[in-house]
């Protein structure tokens, strides 16, 4: 169940899954390793990330999150720049490689290394050999990924990939099971469709359009909306719901579960809201309002607060002792997937029943999820908020004994985004909770300081801020990287701690180097501790383009906020609709408001709205003062 035990934790995190069983560490000083037992010539392999701080005649030094690494190169070392421009490949004189590294001195780098042991004497020294070095930016110094325009390019490329690979031209909607090269995967139920996956693909395409103004992406998003409204929707007892699993034609699948899960309902709304936000389509807007009212009428627990995980397909009531549970998926996810987007789009005004809901859900999170006695958030409860392992297996819940790293990261992000709706007296406590969550994730080993990126799960049991054990594997999963990057950028905007910005930057570099497939397009599902693809599939019943385009959108907006830039968002314009109706909230940032600085039609049927951030309250981490 657990990965191998740590030695002195961070340095052994570097060694645990990669050292052969017959090797034992006798000493490490980050400049070189001394290994016992002759063993193989190449003893340890790992990726790394850090700042290039020294280049000498035969070696270079990288400052990482666990210390200083001194490495040598050989003629086979591969040197590239982020974006796959090859600098040195094949047999290249080492001095040429070191010259390229010297030009990047002071910049950030990624790479791979092995601990090279030349000889078989028991106390032979093992030196670190760099097998691949990835420089950032055109010069090796420029952090291209810290420019907002870079993320517009990312959105364009990723949106085009889903436009080309996912659409079902015959039956509508999008295919679910998509391989590494964009091919459709064969096998039983290979062409099944899932309501929330179709919607999340709509979100990806609509978001890509909002950043680029590419009308082809808007047309693809419209195709998915039509499928959700015409095929995936069913009505029962006067309410509108979405099917979870369907066949290719959009008929309810014979193996679909006999419950209506809130996870499906909230994420099926996500894409529709994103499409409405860029189109102001009235039919889509009405379906969103119907869906929100179904959530409030059927899933809301008026006695104990919060939403139920699921209700019976037949009675539309929660099954006592089973689906009347509350969880991360029924409290935190609705905020991130539905209610924030609803408010940002202006559609919340048509749902007055949601007034105060964001504040109420954030209060439940602080009261029940973020518990001082626990080092990770609680994720599963019974109806009256007692933490428990449920008697049914909700496929979207985390196993009870595990702490989902991404759930902790998203909870912190949600609390920050919800601060504008929460009572002013609770905002200081909210920031304290966010700091606590993020600091604990670093201390327990959920964050990889050597390579960058966040691990998937850590054992729930243990002391706060104490090193933990990874559960089942040490892989890194795509959606958790998004949550980690965006929450650390927003935490830096909100509280000004430089550590948050540095963590976000390293997370971005790991994402771009190992998750984004620069050869075939798209984003890998899962990579190893070192960034090697583990699950190469790009689409499945849990993955679409949602998280990768959400990442592009929010990094673009947050970087503009950091750099006092202008956020440009595009909408599908109709002359009979006033410009003001297309205004939205680009992102929810504590202590800030958005001002429209320009609106104009830039193409046939495309409106561009430009926003600039205005700080209302600064220095939240020190209590804040108002700007006059």
Instruction: Answer whether residue 2 shows pLDDT above 50.
Output: no
Which pLDDT band holds residue 188 (cuts at 50, 70, 90)? confident
Give the whole-number percent of the chain exceeding pLDDT 70: 87
Q: Please give the helix or strand (H or E) that residue 43 lies within, else none.
A: strand 42-55
Instruction: Answer whether residue 377 shows pLDDT above 80.
Output: yes
- Phi first, then psi, for residue 191 (nearest 5°) are -105, 15
Among candidate residues 34, 194, 49, 99, the one with its CA nearest the CA of residue 509: 49
The pLDDT score that the predictor gives to residue 71 is 87
The pLDDT score that the predictor gives to residue 84 is 57
pLDDT tens digit sequence for 229-277: 999 999 999 999 999 999 999 999 988 888 999 999 999 999 999 999 9
pLDDT tens digit sequence for 438-480: 999 999 999 999 999 999 999 887 777 778 788 888 999 999 9
Contact 270, 201 (CB under 8 A): no
pLDDT tens digit sequence for 406-416: 999 999 999 99
The pLDDT score that the predictor gives to residue 267 is 98
pLDDT tens digit sequence for 511-536: 999 999 999 999 999 999 999 999 99
Which pLDDT band holds residue 329 (cuts at 50, 70, 90)? very high
Choice between 27 and 579, residue whose per-residue pLDDT is larger: 579
Among candidate residues 282, 261, 284, the one with its CA nearest the CA of residue 273: 284
The pLDDT score that the predictor gives to residue 139 is 64
Which pLDDT band holds residue 618 (cuts at 50, 70, 90)? low
Contact 571, 577 (CB under 8 A): no
- Its pTM stands at 0.90
Please give the structure tokens belonging to residue 177.
Answer: 């099971």
Instruction: Answer whether residue 8 shows pLDDT above 50.
Output: no
pLDDT, the chain, mean: 87
- Phi and psi based region of residue 93 (left: phi greater than 0; alpha: psi -120 to 50; beta: remaining): beta
In sequence order, the 6+-apart residues with CB closer than 8 A to the CB of 15 are 7, 25, 44
Choice between 603 and 10, residue whose per-residue pLDDT is larger: 603
- Phi first, then psi, for residue 207 (nearest 5°) are -65, -40
Angle at 221 between CA 216 and CA 225, to 5 degrees: 145
Contact 136, 108 (CB under 8 A): yes
Measured in whole angstroms, the distance separating CA 451 from the mean position of its chain's CA atoms is 17
pLDDT tens digit sequence for 167-176: 999 999 999 9
Burial code of 51-65, b = ≥16 C-beta within 10 A, e = fewer? Answer: ebeebeeebbbbebb
Q: Please state, in angstroms and rounded to a whole number, the distance separating the CA atoms of residues 254 and 257.
A: 9
Q: Please state, in angstroms and rounded to a whole number, the distance separating the CA atoms of residues 578 and 562.
A: 31
The pLDDT score that the predictor gives to residue 448 is 94
pLDDT tens digit sequence for 87-133: 776 667 888 888 888 888 999 999 998 876 555 544 445 578 888 99
Contact 231, 174 (CB under 8 A): no
The pLDDT score that the predictor gives to residue 1 is 36
Lowest mean pLDDT among 24-33, 191-200, 205-214: 24-33
Q: Please state, in angstroms and rounded to a whole number, the distance separating the CA atoms of residues 172 and 193.
A: 10
pLDDT tens digit sequence for 558-583: 999 999 999 999 999 999 999 999 99
């Amino acid at each position: 169940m657990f990965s191998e035990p740590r030695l002195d934790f961070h340095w052994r995190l570097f060694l645990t899954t990669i050292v052969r069983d017959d090797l034992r560490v006798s000493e490490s000083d980050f400049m070189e390793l001394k290994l016992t037992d002759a063993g193989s010539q190449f003893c340890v392999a790992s990726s790394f990330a850090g700042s290039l701080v020294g280049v000498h005649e035969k070696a270079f030094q990288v400052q990482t999150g666990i210390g200083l690494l001194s490495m040598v190169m050989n003629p086979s070392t591969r040197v590239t720049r982020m974006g796959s421009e090859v600098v040195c490949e094949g047999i290249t004189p080492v001095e040429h490689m070191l010259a390229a590294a010297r030009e990047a001195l002071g910049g950030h780098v990624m790479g791979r290394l092995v601990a090279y042991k030349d000889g078989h004497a028991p106390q032979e020294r093992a030196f670190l050999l760099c097998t691949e070095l990835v420089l950032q930016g055109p010069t090796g110094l420029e952090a291209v990924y810290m420019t907002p325009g870079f993320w517009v390019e990312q959105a364009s490329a990723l949106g085009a990939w889903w436009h080309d690979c996912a659409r079902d031209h015959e039956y509508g909607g999008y295919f679910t099971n998509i391989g590494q090269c964009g091919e459709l995967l064969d096998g039983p139920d290979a062409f099944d469709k899932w309501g929330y996956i179709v919607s999340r693909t709509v979100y990806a395409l609509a978001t890509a359009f909002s950043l680029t103004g590419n009308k082809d992406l808007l047309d693809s998003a419209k195709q998915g909306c039509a499928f959700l409204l015409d095929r995936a929707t069913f009505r029962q007892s006067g309410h509108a719901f979405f099917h979870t699993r369907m066949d290719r034609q959009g008929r309810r699948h014979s193996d679909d579960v006999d419950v209506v899960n809130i996870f499906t309902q909230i994420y099926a709304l996500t894409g529709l809201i994103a499409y409405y936000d860029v189109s102001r389509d009235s039919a889509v807007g009405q379906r969103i309002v119907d869906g929100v009212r179904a959530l409030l009428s059927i899933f809301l627990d008026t006695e104990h607060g919060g939403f139920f995980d699921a209700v019976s397909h037949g009675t539309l009531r929660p099954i006592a002792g089973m689906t009347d549970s509350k969880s991360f998926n029924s409290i935190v996810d609705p905020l991130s997937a539905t209610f924030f987007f609803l408010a940002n789009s202006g559609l919340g005004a048509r749902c007055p029943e949601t007034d105060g809901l964001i504040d109420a859900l954030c209060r439940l999170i602080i009261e029940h999820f973020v518990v001082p006695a626990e080092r990770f958030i609680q994720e599963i409860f019974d109806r009256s908020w007692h933490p428990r392992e449920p008697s049914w297996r909700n496929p979207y819940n985390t196993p009870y004994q595990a702490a989902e790293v991404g759930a902790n990261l998203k909870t912190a992000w949600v609390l920050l985004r919800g601060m504008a709706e929460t009572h002013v007296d609770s905002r200081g406590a909210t920031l304290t909770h966010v700091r606590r969550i993020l600091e604990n994730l670093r201390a327990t080993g959920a964050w990889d300081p050597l390579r960058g990126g966040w691990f998937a799960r850590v054992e729930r049991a243990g002391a706060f801020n104490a090193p933990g054990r990874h559960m089942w594997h040490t892989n890194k999963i795509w959606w958790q990287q998004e949550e980690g990057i965006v929450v650390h950028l927003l935490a830096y905007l909100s509280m000004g701690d430089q550590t948050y910005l540095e963590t976000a930057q390293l997370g971005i570099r790991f994402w771009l180097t190992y998750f984004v497939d620069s050869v075939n397009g798209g984003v890998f599902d899962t990579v190893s501790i070192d960034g090697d693809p583990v699950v190469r599939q790009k689409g499945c019943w849990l993955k679409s383009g949602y998280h990768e385009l959400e990442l592009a959108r929010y990094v673009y907006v947050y970087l503009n906020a950091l750099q006092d830039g202008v956020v440009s968002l595009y909408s599908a314009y109709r002359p009979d609709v006033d410009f003001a109706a297309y205004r939205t909230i680009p992102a929810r940032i504590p202590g800030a408001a958005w001002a429209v600085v320009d609106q104009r039609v830039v193409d046939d049927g495309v409106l561009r709205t430009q926003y600039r951030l205005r700080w209302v309250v600064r220095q939240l981490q020190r209590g804040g003062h108002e700007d006059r």
